[in-house]
Structure 1
Amino acid sequence: MVRYELLGMDAADVRFAVSPLNELVLSLRSWRDPGRFPLHLRWLHALDGARDGLDEPLLLALTNVRLWTPDFLNPRPYSPLTRIADELEKLAHVDPAVVRRDLRAVHGGALPGPLRGPAPRVLARIIDALGEYWRLCFEPYWPRMRALLEGDVTFRGRQIAQRGLAAMLSGLSDTVRLVDNVVEVHLRSKLDYSRAATGGLTLVPTLWALIASTPISADEPPMILYPARGIATLWEPQSLPTPDSLAGLLGATRAGLLIHLDTPASSTELAVRLGVTPTAVNQHLRALRAGGLLVSTRYGRSVLYRRSDLGDLLVASARPRTAN
């Protein structure tokens, strides 16, 4: 059991945050044991081609049979708006002694082959592998993942306001409870330590946890990772609600895309949301852009599409008008 003693008994001692790096690293659990993460099988199948270009031996070595991951790869985030680029940059400055300690804590004395060697060299390889994994397998899906995680944070904040801190904490997982001023996290492992929640307790929703978990080391900042709400709906294809008048003019799919693109999105991201292939989406996007209803811009390696001024006018004219 891990125990965090809150230094005050109000919600100011507890904060929520979202970490792209945590999600990236914890998702490797589903690589090692897909059967324990059946809700993510649709996503795993979609990665079949992309995984061929990754440093898979190293990535798989970042978890063990108990599905533990090194603490330095699960840093405490400080905001619901944390960016992966910032987290990877901080990762490059982790003390090599911490890297060695945390890898041994996960694997024991004998490290897997990809993790052997001087710690700075191993860390550089880890960062490169994670960066490529993010680009090929996570970046197209992250807006959808982030929306679910941010929705969970909003729900938990409302719980605190309506029912209090203790009720919110017990709702995170059956293994979490508040006793007096101590937050107890019952773990499946033999991990056992207590510490004051100096600097506050950070609660981090994740898509890749079956129960609540904490850092392995008591030296790490107080943090609880817990299963986010709504994971069962994460990979379900989304519908495209469309006004009949617009569907009659453009066709249901193109009209739905035009409605959807009030904010920029890539063809890959749209394909994931709708449960179709990027090729199918690209055909419709090109037709809408050729008709002047969409504009596109390159952002890094992705092309983002959004409605043009003409597209905005067409959508606005198709929406039902309310009576004065």
Structure 2
Amino acid sequence: MESVLSFSTADLAMTRYAVSPMWEVVTSFRLLRAEVDPPLHRRWAAQVRPRLERTGLDRGWLAELIPLTGYLADFLNPTPASPFPGLSGELAAIRATSAGQVRAELDMLAAEAGRDGGRSARFRLLYDAPEETLGKVAAEIEAYWELALAPYWARIRHLLEADVFYRARQAAEHGSAHVLDELHDSVRWDDGTLRLVRRHCAVTRGQAGGGLLLVPSAFVWPRVLTRSVAGEPPQLAYPARGVGNLWEPRTPTSAAAVAGVLGRSRTRILTELDTPSSTTQLARRAGMSAAGVSQHLTALRDAGLVTAHRSGRSVLYARTAVADALLTPAGD
């Protein structure tokens, strides 16, 4: 199946990029539900799946709205208002979705899944009272984000931003048509049209607004996904460059120099936080007491080098982009 999106000069001029937290929520959750471990994300999935199972987030609202294949509810991916929106802004847009749009998209989900006569209690509640229920959906998304993506967001965002800057530079040097032709092997630019082959859902200019919104994603690989809503620019989520190296362990090259400033213990903790970890895990790996690790983490967090994320009854700590830059300078 091939989908064709026509472009005018104005559409090309309105083509833009955005990094979308909600696209990462949707694509990562779908990936975690797959029966086969994702080859590129096996290391991440092994850490995140047990947390979801303990909290039941793998069996909640997101499981209703994100099937393993096929159509996704479009209201989960509102049009980003800026190139780098925060999750809170996208959740506000989700909560403001009209009841008519929610019901129409739930009908499409149900029809595709063949469950018109067997809708779950959650599904019926969202259908009957979307204004009240969307708040529950947004709250679950926040909980999922905190468990699955926030501890890794510095690393993921760096990958996505690097892709945007690369594409922008390519567009400046070679033009937008050249960039569109290189997005993915299923996407082809052909004389004023963008052709998407092997597409499950058609995306055409007639049902969407002007321009095109291109969204790099860490979790959409190996395919592209589209969103087409009347009056809004069509969206195309594509695999970001370098995603195959996203979870590779990073060997700090400046640890000795950083230790001269922060001390050996705090530098060791930052080094261990290549993988988000709890205080107990860090204490065991670093050979320190839990109380000592906790004190160091407080200091590192106050300095903006570490973030904390609630995971059930425990807290996961993660390095920030500032800490990454300290341990591995850009020149390395």
TM range (shorter): 0.7 to 0.9
Shift of 1:70: 0.7
Which residue number in structure 1 is paired with residue 97 of structure 2? 94
The verdict on how the C-alpha distance between 1:215 and 1:243 changes in structure 2, with shifts beyond 3 A counting, is closer
Q: What is the TM-score of this pair, normalised by structure 2?
A: 0.74
What do residues 88-121 of structure 1 show as CA deviations (whole Å, max 9, x unaligned)? 1121111011111112222315244432222234
* Alpha-carbon separation, structure 2, partners of 1:283 and 1:95: 53
* Alpha-carbon separation, structure 1, partners of 2:30 and 2:135: 21
The verdict on how the C-alpha distance between 1:290 and 1:55 changes in structure 2, with shifts beyond 3 A counting, is closer
Q: Work out whether residues 202 and 222 of structure 1, in 8 Å CA contact, stay in contact via their aligned partners in 2.
A: yes
The verdict on how the C-alpha distance between 1:199 and 1:78 changes in structure 2, with shifts beyond 3 A counting, is farther
How does 1:134-145 map onto structure 2 within 5 Å? 134-145=145-156
Aligned residue identity for 1:114: R
- Give the counterpart of 1:160 among 150, 167, 171: 171
- Give the counterpart of 1:72 among 72, 75, 96: 75
Q: Work out whether residues 5 and 196 of structure 1, in 8 Å CA contact, stay in contact via their aligned partners in 2.
A: no
* Alpha-carbon separation, structure 1, partners of 2:255 and 2:141: 42
- Give the counterpart of 2:240 among 213, 228, 236: 228
Shift of 1:290: 6.5
Task: List gaps (5 residues or longer) in structure 2.
Answer: 321-325
Q: Work out whether residues 151 and 318 of structure 2, in 8 Å CA contact, stay in contact via their aligned partners in 1.
A: no
- Give the counterpart of 2:122 among 92, 110, 114: 114
- Give the counterpart of 1:53 among 42, 52, 55: 55
The verdict on how the C-alpha distance between 1:296 and 1:4 changes in structure 2, with shifts beyond 3 A counting, is same
Shift of 1:293: 12
The verdict on how the C-alpha distance between 1:244 and 1:162 changes in structure 2, with shifts beyond 3 A counting, is same
Which residue number in structure 2 is paired with residue 63 of structure 1? 66
The verdict on how the C-alpha distance between 1:284 and 1:40 changes in structure 2, with shifts beyond 3 A counting, is farther
Which residue number in structure 1 is paired with residue 323 of structure 2? none
* Alpha-carbon separation, structure 2, partners of 1:12 and 1:37: 36
- Give the counterpart of 1:173 among 177, 181, 184: 184
Highest CA radius of gyration, 1 or 2?
1
Shift of 1:151: 0.8
Give percent identity, aligned residues only.
30
* Alpha-carbon separation, structure 1, partners of 2:208 and 2:192: 10
Tell me the C-alpha RMSD between the 2 structures. Answer: 3.8
Q: Work out whether residues 26 and 69 of structure 1, in 8 Å CA contact, stay in contact via their aligned partners in 2.
A: no
Shift of 1:271: 3.0
Which residue number in structure 2 is paired with residue 30 of structure 1? 31
The verdict on how the C-alpha distance between 1:284 and 1:237 changes in structure 2, with shifts beyond 3 A counting, is farther
Aligned residue identity for 1:151: A
Q: Work out whether residues 185 and 213 of structure 1, in 8 Å CA contact, stay in contact via their aligned partners in 2.
A: no
Shift of 1:240: 1.1
Aligned residue identity for 2:243: I
**2:195 match: secondary structure:** strand
The verdict on how the C-alpha distance between 1:146 and 1:9 changes in structure 2, with shifts beyond 3 A counting, is same
How does 1:206-245 map onto structure 2 within 5 Å? 206-209=217-220, 210-215=222-227, 217=229, 220-242=232-254
The verdict on how the C-alpha distance between 1:245 and 1:142 changes in structure 2, with shifts beyond 3 A counting, is closer
Q: Work out whether residues 22 and 75 of structure 1, in 8 Å CA contact, stay in contact via their aligned partners in 2.
A: no
Which residue number in structure 2 is paired with residue 133 of structure 1? 144
Q: Does 1:104 align with 2:115?
A: no
Aligned pairs, how many?
298
Q: Work out whether residues 240 and 253 of structure 1, in 8 Å CA contact, stay in contact via their aligned partners in 2.
A: no
What do residues 167-218 of structure 1 show as CA deviations (whole Å, max 9, x unaligned)? 2111111121222222222243263644387442110011222222211555
* Alpha-carbon separation, structure 2, partners of 1:304 and 1:64: 30
